[in-house]
Amino acid sequence: MPLHRIPHPRPYPIRIALLAVVALALFAATGVYAKQPSKVVVKEADNATLGRTILTTTKGRTLYSLSVETHGKFICTGSCLASWKPLAVPAGVTPKGPVKLGTIKRPDGKTQVTFKGRPLYSFNGDVKPGEANGQGLKDVGTWHAAQVAKASAPPAPEPESPYPY
């Protein structure tokens, strides 16, 4: 009489499932599934000409905002963009810097970096890092260097009294 073998489940499906779980864990650990990539696009610098701390590009170019560009309203479009270059990041990238930054979608579809809700631009009239030749220029609004508010220094401690209580 021939012996009939009882079929046993093959270990292959279990191995494949285990391998998939391990691969998924490795991808998650390396950041492949990160929500959004981030990129440092802004730094701050003390500007001697302006006497303030301002935002610059990572290459030291002064960043500006236009006074009338608020609440998602873009004024600098078309020929304005010949002089003022929007600080843009690829879609889905979170801009980072020493201050809280945001993004807004431009009319041309690009993603522009914002500070305090205002789109940021560099000025073609600034040739060297640290220049602020765009400060105060007026057209349909006024261009201002993006100023960083510095925290005030804590008050100096009072000297100890030489008199006992």
pLDDT 10s digits, 88-126: 999 999 999 999 999 999 999 999 999 999 999 999 999
Maximum CA pair distance of the chain?
A: 112
pLDDT 10s digits, 118-152: 999 999 999 999 999 999 999 889 999 999 986 55
Residue 32: per-residue pLDDT: 47
| Overall pTM surpassing 0.85 (yes/no) | no
**CB of 57 within 8 A of CB of 131?**
no
Single out the residue of 23, 101, 21 nearest to residue 57, CA to CA.
101
> CB-based contacts of 73: which residues, under 8 Å, 6+ apart?
none
